[in-house]
C-alpha cells in the first residue's frame, strides 16, 4: 500500500524555508540551462527565418561566407542567364550581384566597437527578399551615399540611426531609412547602393556574391548543381536557407559553455537536494518508525521519500522556468561567418521549459534516491527510539 | 577565541555526511566561479605577459577585415619608440575537409625574418629559422598544431584559399614551441604576394609593432593613428591584448555571460550553505540551551555557529579553487585557448577572491539561523523537541 501523496506535500509545506531554499537552488540551475537553450534556439530561429528556399546563393569555390568571396561582373553576366532563374516584373532575371563588407561601430554591448555587416545591392536584390519593407524613412537612392539600416541593428548600434552619418570607405554615409525583415538576419545588416559602395571600397569590378531566385524548388536544386558544376564559373552554390542553417554552428562555443556550466551547477544542486533529503529523513526517523508500525512496507517508504524529492525538484524546475521567462524578448548578438554581428532574441520555448523541468526531476531523483534508501532501511525499533 | 577552535571543528565533523555534501556542493559551484573569475581577470583586468605588453597591432579603422596599404610599414617604423614592424595577413582558406573542426587553425602570412624577433616567446632551432627565411614556400607550425594533425618537418601542406583564391602548397620547415596555445601556421607573405593579381598587391591585413617600453603604448598608438589621420585608410592601433579580446567579442557578449553565470552561481552557493546551516542549527537548539546554561554567552554561541559556517564554506571555496586551477589550465590548452589571453594557473588575487567570496557567503548565510539560536531563551531551547 502506498503512502498518500498528501503526506509528502504537507511535509514540504511544513518545512517551507528548507523546501524553498532547496528548490531555489535547483531553480537557478534550471534557469541557467534555459537561458543558454534560449540563446541557441533564438539564434536558430533567426537564422532559419533568414533564408528563402527559392533563393540560391553563389560564392567563389572554397569560400564559406560572403565576406571572403569574390565575384566579378563578367562572371555575373555568365550566371545571370542560366536556365531556371525567375524573371522579375521588368522582365529581367532575378539575379542580384552584391558586395558585403563590415564596418566597426560602437554597440550597446561593446562600446569599443562591433562589426556590422554592410551590403551593397541593387533594386532587384531588395525585390528578391520577401517580407522586407521600409519601416520608417525611405530606401537609399542610386549613386548616393545613403544607407538603410536593419531594425535589429538600429536597436543595437547607437550610431546607426536615421539622420546620422557613418564613415565608410571614402566618405560619410547618411542613414535614410530603417527596414524590417521579421526576425531574420537581414535585420542585423545595413544596406546601400551596390555601385556606390563598390566604388568607395575600390571594388568596382570584384564584388562578393550573387543571389538568384529560382522559379520553383526543383529548379532551385537544379540551379545549385548547375552553378556548382560549371567549370567556367568556379563557384559553389547553395540555397540561401542552407547558407544560414550552416551558420548555426556559430553558437557551438556558447552552447558548450552553457552545457558545461549547467552540468557543474547540476552536480552542486543535486548534492544540495541530497543534503536536504538526508536531513528530512533523519528528522523524521520516529515518523518513519511509526509508518512501519502502521504496516507500510519498506518499499512504500522508499517510494514515498523518492516522490518527495521528485516533487521538491519539480517545484525547483517550475520556479526555474519562471525565472527564465523574462529573458524572452531580450535581444543580444553573436558573431557570424561574415565576421559581423547577428542580432537575435532569446527564445525560451515551451519545449525547452519542459526539458528544464525534466532536468530538474532527474537532478532531484539522483539526490533523493540514497536518502530514500536510508529511510527504508531503518529498523522499526531503532527508528522509534531516535530523537 | 582560538581555544574554542577544537569545539568548532568537532561540531563541523559531527554530521560527516552533511559536512562532506556541503563542502562538495560549495566546491563544485566555487570551481565554476573560479573559472569565471580567472577568465574575467584575464580578459579585462590582468596585465599582459611581458613580451605581449611590448606589442601593438595596427589595423584599418573601419574594421579588421579591411586592408591597409603596405607602405604604411616604413612610416610606422619612423614613429619614435617603435623598435620593429611586421606585416601579418590573415589567410583564411581551408585545409582538407573544412567540416571537421580539427582542420580549422589560424594561417597567417608574415615576414619570416622578423617573426621570431616580434614573438620572442616562440622557440625554434636556429637552422629551422634559417630554412624558413630562405625558402619561399616554407611554413612553420606551432607544436600544438603539429601534434593535432601529425605534421613533421618536411611535410607538405595544401591549403585552398578563399580570401586569396587558389591552391597553395607549403613545406613544413620548422616546428616552434610557445608558452601559449600554438594552433597556428605561419608562412611567407612574399609567396602570397607573388600569387596575387596586380590590383590586389601592396595591401596588408595588419601590422604588429614592437615598442621600446611597455608603458609607451598609449603614446605610440596615438602617434601612429595621428600619422594616418588624413589618409584614405585610417588606422586603429591597440594593444595585442585588446586586439585579441576584440576577436573574442565576436563570439557574443562575453562580459554579460561571465557576470550572469557568476551571479547565478554565487546565489546558488548562498542558498546551499544557508540551507545547511539552518538545518544544523535547528538540530542543535537544545544543545545551545545546554551551552548557555553552562555559562557561554550568546555572543560566544553566535561565534561558534558563524565559525562553523565559515570553516565549511572556506574549505569548499579552497577545494573549488583547486579544481578550477585544473580547469583553467585545460581551457588554455583547448582549441579555443589560442584566442584567449594567457590565463596564469595560479593567481593570488583570483584565489583570494574565490576563497573570500566563499567565506563571506558562509558568514552571511549562517547569520540568520545563528542569531536565532543565540537569542532563544534557555528555557525554550531546553524544551525544544526537534
Give me the helices (H) in chain A, please. 5-14, 16-50, 73-80, 123-128, 151-156, 194-200, 217-229, 240-246, 252-283, 285-293, 298-324, 350-377, 380-385
The nearest alpha carbon in chain A to B230 belongs to A170
Task: Look at B271 and A298; give whichever has higher pLDDT.
Answer: A298
Q: Which chain B residue lies closest to A70 (C-alpha atoms)?
A: B163
Q: Lowest mean pLDDT: which of A97-111, A365-379, B210-224, B304-318?
A: A97-111
The answer to whether residue A114 neighbours chain B at the CB level (below 8 Å) is yes
Distance from CA of A271 to the nearest CA of B (A): 6
Closest CB to B246: pick one of A17, A21, A112.
A112
Contact A265 B232 (CB under 8 A): no
Cβ distance B275 to A170 less than 8 Å, yes or no, reads: no
Interchain CB distance below 8 Å, B272 and A268: yes
Q: Residue B18: which of A275, A283, A333 has the nearest Cβ?
A: A275
Angle between helices B285-293 and B348-375 (to 10 degrees): 80
By Cβ distance, the residue of A21, A24, A101 closest to B66 is: A101
Task: For strands B203-204 and A341-345, give the pairing.
Answer: unpaired
Question: Does residue B62 or residue A80 have the better pLDDT?
Answer: A80
**Residues of B with Cβ-Cβ distance to A17 under 8 angstroms:** 278
Per-residue DSSP letters for A337-372?
TTSSEEEEE----HHHHHHHHHHHHHHHHHHHHHHH
Tell how strand A235-239 and strand B166-176 pair up: unpaired
Average pLDDT rounded to a whole number, residues A217-221 = 92
Contact A168 B32 (CB under 8 A): no
Q: Cβ atoms within 10 A of the Cβ of A329, count?
A: 11
**Rounded Cα distance, A213 and A58, in Å:** 11
SS3 A327: helix
Dihedral of CA atoms B161, B167, B173, B177 in degrees, nearest 10, equals 20
Residues B96-109, mean pLDDT to the nearest whole number: 80
Contact A324, A379 (CB under 8 A): no
Of B31, B249, B253, the CB nearest to A332: B253
**Alpha carbon of A11 to those of A301, A305, B53, B307: distances in Å?**
14, 10, 61, 31
Quick check: A382 pLDDT over 90? no
Q: Single out the residue of B20, B26, B13 nearest to residue B323, CA to CA.
A: B26
Residue A27 has pLDDT above 70, yes or no: yes
Distances (CA, A) of B280 to B11, B138, B313: 10, 68, 14
Mean of all residue pLDDT scores within chain A: 88
pTM recorded for the entire structure:
0.78
What pLDDT band is residue A147 in, cutting at 50, 70 and 90?
Answer: very high
Interface probe, candidates A108, A271, A374, chain B, greatest B C-beta count within 10 A: A271
Mean pLDDT on B25-31? 86
Identity of the highest mean pLDDT range in A327-341, B228-242, B274-288: B228-242
* Strand bridging mode A171-180 / A146-150: parallel
Q: What are phi and psi of B191, to 5 degrees?
A: -60, -45
**Taking CB atoms and an 8 Å limit, are A17 and B278 in contact across chains?**
yes
Burial class (CB in 10 A: 0-12, 13-18, 19+), B146: buried
pLDDT at B258: 74
Q: What is the pLDDT of residues B165-191, one digit of tens each?
A: 888 999 999 999 988 778 889 999 999
Query: Which of B252, B274, B284, B320 is the best mutation test for A, with the most CBs of A within 10 A?
Result: B252
Residues in chain B with CB shorter than 8 Å from the CB of A272 are 21, 25, 271-272, 275-276
Judge whether A69 is closer than 8 Å to chain B, CB to CB.
Answer: yes
What is the arithmetic mean of pLDDT over A173-190?
90
Closest approach of chain A CAs to the CA of B160, in angstroms?
A: 7
User: Å from A290 to nearest chain B CA?
Assistant: 17
Q: Considering only CA atoms, which of B189, B77, B184, B199 is closest in space to residue B132?
A: B189
> Is B268's CB within 8 Å of A254's CB?
no
Mapping DSSP to helix (H, G, I), strand (E, B) and coil, where does residue A63 land?
A: coil
Q: For residue B168, what are the CA distances in angstroms to A63, B112, B158, B164? A: 15, 17, 6, 10
A273 pLDDT band, cuts 50/70/90, is confident
The three-point CA angle A242-A246-A252 to 5° equals: 155
pLDDT tier, A47 (very low <50, low <70, confident <90, very high otherwise): confident
**Which tens digits make up the pLDDT trace of B351-372?**
888 889 889 988 988 888 888 8
Higher pLDDT, A259 or A337: A259
pLDDT of residue B87: 95
A35 touches chain B (CB under 8 A): yes
CB-based contact, A341 to chain B, within 8 Å: yes
**Is B65 in contact with A101 (Cβ distance < 8 A)?**
yes
- Beta carbons of A276 and B250 less than 8 Å apart: no
Query: What local confidence, expressed as pLDDT, does residue B335 receive?
Result: 59
Could you say which DSSP state residue B61 is in?
S
A 291-330 residues with CB < 8 A to B: none
Lowest mean pLDDT: which of A75-89, B106-120, B258-272, B313-327? Answer: B258-272
Cβ contacts (< 8 Å) between A168 and chain B: which residues? 62
CB contact under 8 A, A339 and B257: no
**Is it the case that residue B56 has pLDDT exceeding 80?**
yes
Alpha-carbon distance values, A153 to A273, A287, A321, B374 (Å): 44, 62, 29, 58
Q: How far is A87 from chain B (nearest CA, A)?
A: 31
| Alpha carbons A122 and A225: distance in angstroms, whole number | 26
ipTM exceeds 0.85, yes or no: no
Question: Which of B253, B269, B326 is the best mutation test for A, with the most CBs of A within 10 A?
Answer: B253
Alpha helices in B120-239 (DSSP H): 126-134, 143-149, 189-195, 217-227
Q: Is the pLDDT of residue B71 over 90?
A: yes
- A-B contacts (CB, under 8 Å): 156
Q: Which residues of chain B have a CB within 8 Å of the CB of A63?
A: 162-163
**Which long-range contacts does A334-337 make (Cβ < 8 Å, 24+ apart)?**
A334/A43, A334/A250, A334/A251, A334/A254, A334/B251, A334/B252, A335/A115, A335/A250, A335/B249, A335/B250, A335/B251, A335/B252, A336/A65, A336/A117, A336/A185, A336/A247, A336/A250, A337/A64, A337/A65, A337/A67, A337/A246, A337/A247, A337/A250
Supply the pLDDT for residue B222.
Answer: 92
**How many alpha carbons fall within 13 Å on the CB side of residue B92?**
18
Q: What residue of A is the nearest CA neighbor of B167?
A: A62
C-alpha to C-alpha distance for A387 and B221, rounded to whole angstroms:
74
Give the number of C-alpha atoms closer than 13 A to the C-alpha of residue A354, restricted to the C-beta side: 3
Question: A314: distance to nearest CA of chain B, Å?
Answer: 17
Question: What per-residue confidence (pLDDT) applies to B342?
Answer: 65
Which distant-in-sequence residues (6+ apart) come within 8 Å of B143 by Cβ? B175, B176, B177, B178, B182
Question: Is the CB of A268 inside 8 Å of chain B's CB atoms?
Answer: yes
Say if A188 is an interface residue toward chain B (CB within 8 Å): no
- Residue A269 touches chain B, beta carbons under 8 Å: yes
Q: In the predicted model, what is the mean pLDDT of residues A66-88?
A: 88
* Domain regions of chain A by residue span: 5-48+250-385, 55-213
Contact residues on chain B for A172, CB-CB shorter than 8 A: none
pLDDT tens for each residue of A81-123:
888 899 988 888 999 999 998 888 888 877 777 888 999 999 9
* Residues in CB range of B102: below 8 A, 6 or more apart: B148, B149
Q: Is residue A48 a contact partner of residue A288, using CB atoms and an 8 Å limit?
A: no
Supply the DSSP string of B274-300, one letter for each residue.
HHHHHHHHHHTHHHHHHHHHTT--HHH
Are the Cβ atoms of B279 and A275 closer than 8 angstroms? yes
What pLDDT band is residue B336 in, cutting at 50, 70 and 90? low
Q: Give the pLDDT band of residue A351 (cuts 50, 70, 90).
A: very high
Q: Angle at the Cα of B144 (from B139 to B146), degrees rounded to 5?
A: 45
- For the segment B331-345, the average pLDDT, to the nearest whole number, is 64
**Mean pLDDT, range B244-257, rounded to an integer:** 67
pLDDT tier for residue B215 given thresholds of 50, 70 and 90 = confident
Per-residue model confidence as pLDDT tens digits over A191-204: 999 999 988 887 88
Task: Report the percent of chain B where pLDDT is more than 70.
Answer: 92
Phi/psi region, residue A93 (left: phi>0; alpha: psi -120 to 50; beta: rest), is beta
pLDDT band at A61 (very low <50, low <70, confident <90, very high): confident
CA distance B82 to B63: 23
* CB-based contact A115 B65, cutoff 8 Å: yes
B338 pLDDT more than 60: no
Length of chain A: 387
Give the mutation candidate from B271, B313, B326, B338 for the A interface (greatest A CB count, under 10 A).
B271
Parallel, antiparallel or unpaired: strands A341-345 and A331-335:
antiparallel
Give me chain B's average pLDDT, please: 85
With a cut of 60, say whether residue A42 has pLDDT above it.
yes
Nearest to B252 among A32, A68, A333 (CB): A333
Summarize the confidence of residues A268-277 as an average pLDDT. 84
Amino acid at each position: 500500500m502506498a503512502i498518500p501523496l498528501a503526506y509528502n506535500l504537507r511535509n514540504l509545506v511544513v518545512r517551507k524555508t528548507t523546501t524553498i531554499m532547496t528548490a531555489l537552488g535547483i531553480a537557478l540551475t534550471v534557469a541557467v540551462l534555459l537561458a543558454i537553450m534560449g540563446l541557441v534556439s533564438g539564434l536558430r530561429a533567426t537564422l532559419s527565418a533568414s533564408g528563402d528556399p527559392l533563393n540560391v546563393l553563389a560564392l567563389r569555390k572554397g569560400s564559406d561566407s560572403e565576406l571572403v568571396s569574390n565575384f566579378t561582373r563578367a562572371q555575373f553576366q555568365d550566371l545571370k542567364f542560366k536556365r531556371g532563374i525567375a524573371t522579375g516584373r521588368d522582365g529581367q532575371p532575378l539575379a542580384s550581384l552584391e558586395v558585403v563588407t563590415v564596418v566597426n561601430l560602437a554597440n550597446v554591448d561593446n562600446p569599443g566597437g562591433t562589426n556590422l555587416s554592410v551590403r551593397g545591392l541593387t533594386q532587384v536584390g531588395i525585390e528578391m527578399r520577401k517580407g522586407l519593407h521600409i519601416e520608417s524613412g525611405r530606401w537609399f537612392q542610386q549613386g548616393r551615399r545613403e544607407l538603410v539600416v536593419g531594425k535589429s541593428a538600429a536597436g543595437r548600434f547607437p550610431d546607426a540611426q536615421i539622420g546620422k552619418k557613418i564613415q565608410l570607405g571614402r566618405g560619410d554615409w547618411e542613414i535614410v531609412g530603417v527596414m524590417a525583415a521579421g526576425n531574420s538576419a537581414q535585420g542585423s545588416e545595413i544596406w546601400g547602393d551596390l555601385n556606390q559602395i563598390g566604388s568607395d571600397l575600390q571594388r568596382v569590378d570584384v564584388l562578393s556574391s550573387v543571389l538568384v531566385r529560382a522559379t520553383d524548388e526543383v529548379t532551385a536544386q537544379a540551379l545549385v548543381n548547375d552553378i556548382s558544376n560549371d567549370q567556367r564559373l568556379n563557384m559553389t552554390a547553395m540555397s540561401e536557407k542552407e547558407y544560414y542553417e550552416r551558420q548555426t554552428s556559430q553558437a557551438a562555443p556558447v552552447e558548450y559553455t552553457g552545457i558545461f556550466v549547467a552540468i557543474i551547477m547540476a552536480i552542486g544542486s543535486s548534492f544540495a537536494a541530497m543534503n536536504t533529503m538526508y536531513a528530512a529523513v533523519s528528522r523524521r526517523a520516529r515518523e518513519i518508525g511509526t509508518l512501519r508500525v502502521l504496516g507500510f512496507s519498506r518499499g512504500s517508504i522508499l517510494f514515498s521519500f523518492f516522490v518527495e524529492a521528485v516533487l521538491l525538484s519539480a517545484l525547483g524546475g517550475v520556479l526555474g522556468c519562471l525565472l527564465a521567462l523574462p529573458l524572452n524578448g531580450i535581444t543580444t548578438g553573436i558573431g557570424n561567418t561574415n565576421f559581423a554581428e547577428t542580432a537575435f532574441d532569446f527564445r525560451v520555448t515551451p519545449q525547452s521549459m519542459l526539458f528544464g523541468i525534466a532536468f530538474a526531476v532527474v537532478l532531484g531523483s539522483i539526490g533523493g534516491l540514497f536518502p530514500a534508501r536510508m529511510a527504508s532501511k531503518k529498523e522499526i525499533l531503532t527508528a522509534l527510539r531516535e530523537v | 577565541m582560538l581555544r574554542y577552535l577544537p569545539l568548532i571543528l568537532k561540531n563541523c565533523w559531527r554530521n560527516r555526511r552533511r559536512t562532506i555534501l556541503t563542502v562538495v556542493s560549495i566546491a563544485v559551484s566555487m570551481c565554476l566561479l573560479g573559472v569565471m573569475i580567472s577568465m574575467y581577470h584575464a580578459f579585462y583586468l590582468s596585465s599582459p605577459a611581458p613580451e605581449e605588453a611590448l606589442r601593438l597591432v595596427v589595423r584599418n579603422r573601419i574594421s579588421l577585415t579591411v586592408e591597409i596599404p603596405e607602405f604604411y610599414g616604413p612610416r610606422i617604423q619612423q614613429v619614435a619608440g617603435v623598435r620593429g614592424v611586421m606585416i601579418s595577413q590573415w589567410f583564411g582558406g581551408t585545409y582538407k575537409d573544412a567540416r571537421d573542426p580539427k582542420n580549422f587553425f589560424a594561417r597567417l602570412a608574415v615576414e619570416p625574418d622578423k617573426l621570431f624577433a616580434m614573438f620572442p616567446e616562440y622557440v625554434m632551432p636556429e637552422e629551422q629559422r634559417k630554412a624558413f627565411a630562405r625558402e619561399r614556400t616554407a611554413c612553420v607550425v606551432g607544436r600544438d598544431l603539429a601534434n593535432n594533425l601529425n605534421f613533421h618537418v618536411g611535410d607538405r601542406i595544401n591549403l585552398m584559399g578563399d580570401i586569396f583564391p587558389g591552391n597553395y602548397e607549403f613545406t613544413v620547415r620548422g616546428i616552434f614551441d610557445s608558452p601559449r596555445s600554438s594552433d597556428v601556421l605561419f608562412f611567407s607573405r612574399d609567396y602570397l604576394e607573388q600569387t596575387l593579381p596586380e590590383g590586389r598587391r601592396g595591401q596588408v591585413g595588419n601590422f604588429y609593432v614592437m615598442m621600446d617600453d611597455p608603458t609607451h603604448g598609449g603614446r605610440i598608438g596615438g602617434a601612429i593613428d595621428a600619422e594616418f589621420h588624413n589618409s584614405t585608410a585610417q588606422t586603429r592601433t591597440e594593444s595585442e591584448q585588446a586586439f585579441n579580446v576584440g576577436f573574442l567579442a565576436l563570439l557574443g557578449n562575453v562580459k554579460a555571460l561571465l557576470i550572469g553565470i557568476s551571479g547565478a552561481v554565487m546565489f546558488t552557493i548562498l542558498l546551499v550553505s544557508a540551507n545547511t546551516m539552518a538545518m544544523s542549527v535547528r538540530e542543535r537548539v537544545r544543545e545551545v540551551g545546554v551551552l548557555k546554561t553552562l555559562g557561554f554567552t550568546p555572543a560566544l554561541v553566535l561565534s561558534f555557529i558563524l565559525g562553523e559556517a565559515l570553516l565549511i564554506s572556506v574549505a569548499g571555496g579552497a577545494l573549488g579553487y583547486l579544481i578550477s586551477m585544473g580547469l583553467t589550465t585545460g581551457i588554455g590548452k583547448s582549441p579555443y585557448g589560442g584566442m584567449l589571453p594567457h590565463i596564469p594557473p595560479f593567481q593570488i588575487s583570483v584565489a583570494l577572491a574565490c576563497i573570500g567570496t566563499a567565506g563571506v557567503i558562509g558568514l552571511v548565510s549562517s547569520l540568520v539561523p545563528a542569531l536565532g539560536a543565540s537569542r532563544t531563551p534557555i528555557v525554550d531551547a531546553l524544551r525544544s523537541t526537534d
